[in-house]
Structure formats: C-alpha cells, structure tokens
Structure 1
Amino acid sequence: MDQALLAVVERSPQAAAAHDRAGWVGLFTADGRVEDPVGSRPHTGAAEIGRFYDTFIGPREISFHRDLDIVRGSSVIRDLDLEVVMGSAVTMTIPAILRYDLREVDGEWRIALLQAYWELPAMLWEFLRNGAAAVPATVQLSRGLLRNQRLRGAVGFAAGFRRVGSRHKTLVETFVNAVGRGDRFAALQTLSSGAAITLGDGDTAEIVELAERCAGAVTTKVIAAGQTVVASVSAGPRRGVLFADITRRGTGIQRIRYFPQ
C-alpha cells in the first residue's frame, strides 16, 4: 500500500510542473481540503481547490526538492524544500513539510487533505528582500488573489500570518533535545498537563519509548504554522517528523505526534 500512496502523492508535483489544472484538482476527493499554509483559511471541494490552483500554482514554476517521505497508515509526510519562481527576477526557496491524508474512493486512492507547513512571514521577508524586482510579482499575486479568491479569500490567506512564535519553536527544540539525551524530566517540563504523545496519529507512546527511538535526536528543520510547530528530527541513521500542537498563549506543548521513518 505504501507504494500506491506515494504514487498518488507524486502525481501532485508532476501535475503542478506540467501546469495540468484538471489533473491536479482531480487528485482530491469530492470533499478534499487544502490548507496552504496551515493557519490560513482552508480550500474545500473542487471549485475552491481549483481557485487555489489558479492563484498559487498555475501562474508559477514550482519545483519540489524532496528530502524524506514517511508513510504511516493512509498518510504521507513529505519533508522538502519548495523552489518557487515568482517572476523573471524572483526565485524563492521555502523550507516546508507537507502532509497528505488519503482515502480510497471507488478503488482509487485520492487526497482527502493536503496540509502545507511553511512560514508565511519568512517567505514574505525573503520576497521583499528582492526590492524592486519583487514589484511585478507582488502585483501579479495581489491581482490573482482578488480575482480568484475575492476579498474574503485574500483575508483568509493573510490569516496564515497568525501562528505560534519563536519561543514555541524553542520549546519544541528543547523537548527533542531532552528526548535525545534521555532526560525524561526535562522533556516533561515542556509539556502541558495531560499532554498526549502518539506515534503517528493514534498509537499512544510514552517519553521513555520515544527516547529509545530517538537516542541522540536533534532538530534539522523547525517550522511554525498555525497552532503547530513541525520539526524534522534526526537521530543518527533514524529520522522522523514531529508535530507539536501549541496554543499561542500556551506555556506547554499540548500534543506530540511523532512520525518515524
């Protein structure tokens, strides 16, 4: 099954590179949802997903530089960098982690949910550093947003600026480092009361078990999007992706989901 899921997921960058709108939108279930970036207003159903494509994918050249794929159950986690050509003089590299949840429909796997974890403020800052060269791309993106998404959609996209912050990223790094050195007490100090830890979405785990899997673990990429901090974790030859759910005003991690390679 893993190869079947990966094959469907791989059709997404292939369709984007070919500017195949129908092929890309057709990868999703009828009630499919796109959250890109996580924290912005979701796009649900073929019509909204089509408008998302027209705004953000169709007008651009996007390359997927894949680093790691993890399959667990019917979900695929992809650690990668996105290379986005915004215009003739502006190309950006965006560190990202994508999550695809798939569902079988009439004997075929389709994407029920695509969540793209990347940092909108960091992308905007890199974009603006291009100075005058960014002006044509800014005008094009603004026009596309208003034409395809209307004002409500533009405001919904801007909601992606609201996210947990740098102190929450540090909290997650502290948790991973503590787990990596087997310091259960320090790891517990980063968690809120009653915080859940699971392998994947549903297999309950304890910190001791996580420490056994992640001896020597360090973070190699940390992304804050919406209410979640996502971290790429490297523990020698073993790798994984960790999702930590945190409220912006919270002082501890509320939920840990670890997807091992």
Structure 2
Amino acid sequence: MNLFSADGRIEDPVGSRPHVGRAAICRFYDTFIGPRQVTYHPDVDVVMGSTAVRDGELEIVMGSVRLDVPVYIRYDIGSDDGGAEPRITALSAYWELPAMIGRFLRTGVGALPAGLQLARSLLANLGPVGALGFVGGLRGTWPQGKRRLETFLADARAGNEIAVHRLLAKGCRITLGDDQPMPTAELIARIAATRPRKVIASGFHLVAGLQQTDRRDILFAEVDPKPFAIKRIRYFTDHT
C-alpha cells in the first residue's frame, strides 16, 4: 500500500464509490484483490506527463470461475507533501461492471460460492454503505453511450465537424492530456488519422483506444446521459 500517497484514491470501476486513503485502499485490497487471483495482461501503455494510461485485460480467477475483463487503467503519479518519493495519487480503472456480472452469472453453478464469498467480503470489509457504493458502478450510459461515442468517432474520422458538434455539450472542454486546451478542429484531425478499437463504458465515462500505424492514443469522454452529450474530452498520446 506504500505505492499510494497518504490521500491516494482508487476508483475501481469508475462510477463506483472511490476508496480514499491508505486504510480504505487496504480494505479495497482485502475485498477484491487478496481473496482471488488477479492477473493483468498488458497491451499498450501511454505516458503523458505525470499520468500513465494502461490498455489491457484483467484475468480474474474466483474459485472455479475465470473471467477476462477488458480495462483501461489510469495512474496519476505525485508525492506525499512534496516529497521526492513518487507515489500513486489516483488509480482509475475503467471496465464494465454490468458486462462482468453477466459473464459471471453465465458461468453457471460455479458462480454461486464465488458470489457468496464476494458478498461476505463486501459487507465485512466495506459495510453496507461501501457495498452500495460498489453497486453504484452499475449506473452509466452502457451500450447506448458506446454507440454514441462510436458515432462521434466515425463522424470525426469522416471530417464531419457539424455532426461532431451535435454530440458535444455546450461548453464542452477538450484538452490534450488534462490541461492543454485543444480546438475541436485539432481533435477531429487527430481522430481522422486513427482507427478506433476497444470502447469501454464505465459509469458516465467512455474510453476509446485510437490506433495509429505506430502507436495508440486514448480518448476519455465524460458524458451527460439524457439527452446524450459529451461534456469533457481528454486526449492522451505519447506524441504531442
């Protein structure tokens, strides 16, 4: 747990209640990681400033049940009170809780003991409020939001700026990374040179990998669901 800053934060999946501080992170570990076998299979990493984004897949083994979960994981790196030792200040895991539950239930009777063990761990380590906070990860835009983002990306690749603006909320902020303002025209030009791949909906956030010949960029979008509108875009790339 010393990898995290004293006020470190884990949101896993994004959309659920965050775990803030080392004590809460320890309880998170004891609930979700320690009792099962979790293996991360990396595909691509994108590093920009003090942020690293990992595109890969989680392999989760719970008793006789094995699940493969596509994921994007964002790490924000800082320090404790300006110290020299780098620490993780925030870990945000973007994966689809409803889809994972569906695959879990389809595994059949083997899911029952694993499900009961998880339920006991949730209540014992996080309490009723924490358990409800985890279930909050079921809220989101899900398939409809993914389809809308795919439409947005297709319009951008076609250079259709009018159609792109229709899906942007008024005042939508677009940045390269977290902070550098990016005009809509530049965003469209960047997307036009890519081929979209894995799209994930996690809470009210959508994430897409954008494949180029020699690299992969990653786009994060925060959305309003009804009516659907993209209110915030962060574009991460190794090549600025």
Q: Could you tell me the TM-score, scaled by structure 2's length?
A: 0.94
* Residue equivalent to 2:78: 103
Cα 1:113–1:42 shift into 2, 3 Å: same
Contact 1:177 1:217 in 2 (8 A): no
Match of 2:158 among 158, 181, 199: 181
Q: Which amino acid aligns with 2:69?
A: I
Inter-partner Cα distance in structure 2 for 1:238 and 1:210? 17
Inter-partner Cα distance in structure 2 for 1:97 and 1:122? 15
Contact 1:83 1:91 in 2 (8 A): yes
Alpha-carbon displacement from aligned partner over 1:63-108 (angstroms, at most 9, x marks no partner):
1111111111111111110000111x21000001001111033211
Give the alignment of 1:84-99 within 5 angstroms: 84-87=60-63, 89-99=64-74
Q: Which amino acid aligns with 1:251?
A: F
Q: Which amino acid aligns with 1:63?
A: T
Q: Does 1:63 align with 2:39?
A: yes
Q: Which amino acid aligns with 1:247?
A: D
Question: C-alpha displacement at 1:62, in angstroms?
Answer: 1.0
* Residue equivalent to 2:93: 116
Question: C-alpha displacement at 1:226, in angstroms?
Answer: 1.6
* Residue equivalent to 1:10: none
Alpha-carbon displacement from aligned partner over 1:25-78 (angstroms, at most 9, x marks no partner):
111000001101111111111111000000000011111111111111111111
Q: Does 1:167 align with 2:167?
A: no
Unaligned runs of 5+ in 1: 1-24
Moved more, 138-147 or 179-188: 179-188
Match of 1:248 among 215, 218, 225: 225
- Equivalent residue of 1:250, what SS? coil
Q: Does 1:204 align with 2:181?
A: yes
Q: Which amino acid aligns with 2:61?
A: V
Inter-partner Cα distance in structure 2 for 1:239 and 1:188? 24
* Residue equivalent to 1:220: 197
Q: Could you tell me the TM-score, scaled by structure 1's length?
A: 0.87
Match of 1:83 among 43, 59, 71: 59
Match of 1:154 among 115, 128, 131: 131
Inter-partner Cα distance in structure 2 for 1:135 and 1:181? 47
Q: Does 1:136 align with 2:113?
A: yes
* Residue equivalent to 1:49: 25
Contact 1:214 1:238 in 2 (8 A): no
Higher relative contact order (CA 8 A, sep 6+): 2
* Residue equivalent to 2:122: 145
Unaligned runs of 5+ in 2: none
Query: When the two structures are aligned, how many residues end up with a matched partner?
Result: 236
Contact 2:177 2:235 in 1 (8 A): yes
